[in-house]
């Protein structure tokens, strides 16, 4: 008989963090900010003035 593996793979928290970051960026853009992201992951917020 074939045995079915019951071990669960660990949840990758990186995907959760990226989704939260996406939501934060979206909200900030709606509030009038522009976001610049550097290669090292730093964020710079720029206020748009009409």
The token duo for 17 is: 């963090």
As a whole number of angstroms, the distance between CA 48 and CA 29 comes to 9
| Mean pLDDT across 5-16 | 61
| Mean pLDDT across 17-45 | 85
pLDDT at 14 over 60: no
The answer as to whether 4 is a domain residue is no
The answer as to whether 25 is a domain residue is yes
Q: What is the pTM of this model?
A: 0.53
Q: How confident is the model at residue 2 (pLDDT cuts 50, 70, 90)?
A: low
Rounded to 10 degrees, the C-alpha dihedral 23/26/31/34 comes to 130
The answer as to whether 8 is a domain residue is no
As a whole number of angstroms, the distance between CA 29 and CA 23 comes to 10
| Mean pLDDT across 4-31 | 74
Domain count within the chain: 1
Question: Which residues form the domain of 42?
Answer: 13-47
The answer as to whether 23 is a domain residue is yes
């Amino acid at each position: 008989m074939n045995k079915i593996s019951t071990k669960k793979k660990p949840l990758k928290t990186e995907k959760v963090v990226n989704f939260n970051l996406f939501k934060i960026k979206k909200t900030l853009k709606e509030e009038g900010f522009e976001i610049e992201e550097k290669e090292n992951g730093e964020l710079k917020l720029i206020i748009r003035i009409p």
